[in-house]
């Protein structure tokens, strides 16, 4: 922390010392895992300044919404939630309400806040965590509207404090930003260009997590396969994975997202040769139609995509895949959608995250003419969900009678069930004991539903 940051922190602590009760802060994150990961740093900074963390808006002296810009519907919900905070501000004039995350980067959102939500006094740019104290101090000094860190294009300070949401699962960003400009997506505009953390910084963080008992580490980036480009000593993502895999301990590594144009056979080989990397690849396809993929600016064809899946399956029949899919991209016709259906039947994903296309102002797709009606698009979504439900159920049935290892995440006392995920990232719910939460558990699969494998705990993994 430099001198000016120290002074800012001291000035805030002096304000907080006058509070009649211990100051409390609520940070609520929405959207993707990367936003939740930033949220842990906002919490760390606020805790370091002396706030207790709370989940109750009624108790809070600071409320920070860390919101996502990817889809319009999610944004409207956040605006609605900000609206609901007005009575709290009226009751407690000292309350500071702020918006951060990629939603805060949008000019229209900020104009709307200034116009209709003047009690939202603090706006912080996406990823500009370290500017939070300055913005807070400005609010305490009576500034009605503060905008800090917009267009931030750096890397967060490695020494920022973090309050982790999970005890034995943690996310570790390997890079920030995106260079891909898929025509539907707002991320490159609100998160800036790609920049990678050094392998040393990532390795230190992972080693510390493993040392403190963390069992599952999720590496994050918008396209992890372009990790390392632009570093003074360039390094590929598979090389980073090999370095992390060499850390001794009892843990799994997952990562997301992989852009199919940059995912390679070397990546698959590295995963299969590793001790700690889950045999699961989240490989967002978005569409099964080459014409739509071209209009999306995705730089791969369905055939190229499938060739990587075939390669992985030829090496290990147990390799699991998940994907993101957009329905109703402006140029998508019924014939295009049929190609998407045939691709998902061919891949047999374990899990699919499906989204109805949401036009985002400033992106090229928002200027394209929509060729389908809303009814046609929602009809496609229904068919897609039903098709995937059947596929997941059938994939899960292949596991009946087998044993596998699962990380037990939660215990449901009423049902006596442990829930968690297997090494290939399949959801599982098994009979077991609460003391196994946070442990790798050997499980025998006796049933299969569309939402999970079911069975019983056999014994802890040696």
DSSP state of 296: T
Which listed range, 13-21, 179-187, 398-406, 418-426, lies at the site for ligand SAM (CB under 6 A)?
Answer: 179-187
Residue 228 touches ligand SAM, criterion: CB under 6 A: no
Instruction: Name, in order, each residue with C-beta under 8 angstroms of 122's C-beta and a sequence gap of 6 or more.
Output: 64, 96, 97, 98, 99, 135, 136, 138, 139, 146, 148
Instruction: Name, in order, each residue with C-beta under 8 angstroms of 19's C-beta and a sequence gap of 6 or more.
Output: 61, 94
Q: Are 69 and 360 in contact (CB under 8 A)?
A: yes
Q: Which is nearer to ligand SAM, 69 or 407 (CB)?
A: 69
Residue 282 touches ligand SF4, criterion: CB under 6 A: no
Beta bridge partners of 455: 430, 445
| Burial classification of residue 71, based on how many CB atoms lie within 10 Å of its CB (0-12 exposed, 13-18 middle, 19 or more buried) | middle
Cis peptide, bond prior to residue 257, ω within 30 of zero = yes
Q: Which is nearer to ligand SF4, 68 or 240 (CB)?
A: 68
Q: 172-231: which residues touch ligand SF4 (CB under 6 A)?
A: 178, 180-182, 185, 187-188, 222-223
* DSSP helix/strand/coil, 361: coil
Q: Which is nearer to ligand SAM, 187 or 418 (CB)?
A: 187
Q: Specify the DSSP element, H or E, that contains 208.
A: helix 199-211
Smallest gap from residue 367 Cβ to ligand SAM (A): 13
Q: Specify the DSSP element, H or E, that contains 195.
A: strand 195-196
Instruction: Name, in order, each residue with C-beta under 8 angstroms of 220's C-beta and a sequence gap of 6 or more.
Output: 33, 34, 37, 171, 172, 173, 174, 255, 256
Beta bridge partners of 217: 170, 253
Q: Are 287 and 336 in contact (CB under 8 A)?
A: yes
Interior CA angle at 163 toward 162 and 165, to 5°? 125
Residue 357 touches ligand SAM, criterion: CB under 6 A: yes
Number of residues forming the site for ligand SF4 (CB under 6 A):
10
Give me the 317-356 binding string for ligand SF4, x by CB under 6 A, dash otherwise. ----------------------------------------
Residue 109 touches ligand SF4, criterion: CB under 6 A: no
Residue 451 touches ligand SF4, criterion: CB under 6 A: no
Which position among 27, 45, 109, 185 is part of the footprint of ligand SAM (CB under 6 A)? 185
Residue 297 touches ligand SAM, criterion: CB under 6 A: no
CA distance 345 to 331: 22
Number of residues forming the site for ligand SAM (CB under 6 A):
18
The closest alpha carbon to 338, from 346, 322, 356, 330, belongs to 346
Smallest gap from residue 283 Cβ to ligand SAM (A): 8
Give me the 377-416 binding string for ligand SF4, x by CB under 6 A, dash otherwise. ----------------------------------------
Residue 63 touches ligand SF4, criterion: CB under 6 A: no
Residue 355 touches ligand SAM, criterion: CB under 6 A: yes
Smallest gap from residue 256 Cβ to ligand SF4 (A): 10
181 binds, among ligand SF4, ligand SAM, none (CB under 5 to 8 A by kind): ligand SF4
Residue 127 touches ligand SAM, criterion: CB under 6 A: no
Q: 421-440: which residues touch ligand SAM (CB under 6 A)?
A: none
CA distance 199 to 218: 15
Residue 363 touches ligand SF4, criterion: CB under 6 A: no
Which position among 1, 11, 15, 71 is part of the footprint of ligand SAM (CB under 6 A)? 71
Q: Are 189 and 164 in contact (CB under 8 A)?
A: no
The position carrying tokens 């920030």 is 176
Residue 324 touches ligand SAM, criterion: CB under 6 A: yes
Which position among 169, 171, 222, 388 is part of the footprint of ligand SAM (CB under 6 A)? 222
Distances (CA, A) of 211 to 144, 216, 250, 410, 437: 45, 12, 10, 22, 18
Which position among 43, 360, 421, 423 is part of the footprint of ligand SAM (CB under 6 A)? 360
152 binds, among ligand SF4, ligand SAM, none (CB under 5 to 8 A by kind): none
CA distance 27 to 261: 35
Q: Give contact residues for ligand SAM (rule: CB under 6 A).
A: 32, 70-71, 184-185, 187, 222-223, 257, 259, 284, 286, 324, 326, 355, 357-358, 360
Q: Give contact residues for ligand SF4 (rule: CB under 6 A).
A: 178, 180-182, 185, 187-188, 222-223, 259
């Amino acid at each position: 922390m430099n001198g000016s940051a120290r002074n800012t922190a001291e000035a805030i602590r002096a304000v907080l010392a006058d509070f009649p009760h211990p100051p409390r802060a609520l940070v609520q994150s929405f959207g993707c895992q990367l936003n939740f990961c930033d949220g842990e740093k906002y919490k760390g900074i606020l805790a370091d300044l002396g706030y207790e963390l709370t989940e109750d808006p009624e108790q809070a002296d600071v409320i920070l919404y860390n919101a996502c810009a990817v889809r319009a519907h999610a944004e409207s919900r956040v605006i609605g939630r900000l609206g609901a905070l007005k009575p709290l501000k009226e009751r407690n004039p000292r309350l500071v309400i702020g918006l951060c995350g990629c939603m805060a980067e949008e000019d229209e959102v900020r104009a709307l806040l200034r116009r209709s939500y003047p009690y939202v006094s603090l706006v912080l740019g996406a990823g500009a965590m370290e500017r939070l104290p300055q913005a807070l101090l400005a609010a305490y000094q009576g500034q009605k509207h503060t905008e800090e860190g917009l267009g931030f294009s750096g890397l967060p300070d490695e020494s920022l404090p973090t309050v982790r949401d999970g005890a034995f699962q943690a996310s570790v960003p390997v890079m920030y930003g995106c260079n891909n400009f898929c025509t539907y997506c707002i991320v490159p505009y609100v998160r800036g260009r790609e920049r990678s953390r050094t392998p040393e910084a990532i390795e230190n963080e992972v080693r510390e997590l493993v040392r403190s008992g963390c069992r599952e580490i999720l590496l994050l980036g918008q396209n992890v396969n372009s990790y390392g480009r632009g570093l003074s000593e360039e390094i590929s993502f598979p090389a980073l994975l090999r370095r992390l895999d060499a850390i001794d301990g009892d843990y799994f590594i997952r990562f997301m997202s992989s852009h199919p144009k940059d995912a390679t056979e070397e990546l698959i080989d590295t995963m299969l040769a590793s001790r700690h990397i889950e045999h699961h690849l989240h490989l967002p396809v978005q569409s099964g139609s080459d014409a739509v993929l071209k209009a999306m600016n995705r730089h791969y064809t369905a055939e190229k995509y499938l060739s990587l899946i075939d390669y992985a399956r030829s090496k290990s029949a147990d390799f699991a895949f998940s994907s993101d899919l957009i329905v109703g991209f402006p140029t998508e016709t019924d014939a295009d959608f049929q190609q998407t259906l045939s691709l998902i039947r061919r891949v047999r994903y374990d899990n699919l995250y499906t989204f109805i296309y949401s036009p985002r102002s400033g992106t090229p797709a928002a200027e394209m003419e929509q060729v389908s009606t809303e009814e046609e698009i929602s009809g496609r979504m229904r068919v897609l969900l039903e098709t995937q439900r059947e596929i997941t159920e059938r994939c899960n049935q292949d596991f009946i009678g087998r044993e596998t290892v699962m990380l037990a995440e939660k215990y449901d006392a009423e049902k006596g069930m442990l829930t968690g995920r297997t090494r290939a990232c399949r959801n599982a719910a098994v009979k077991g004991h609460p003391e196994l939460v946070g442990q790798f558990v050997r499980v025998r699969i006796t049933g299969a539903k569309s939402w999970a494998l079911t069975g019983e705990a056999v014994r802890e993994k040696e």
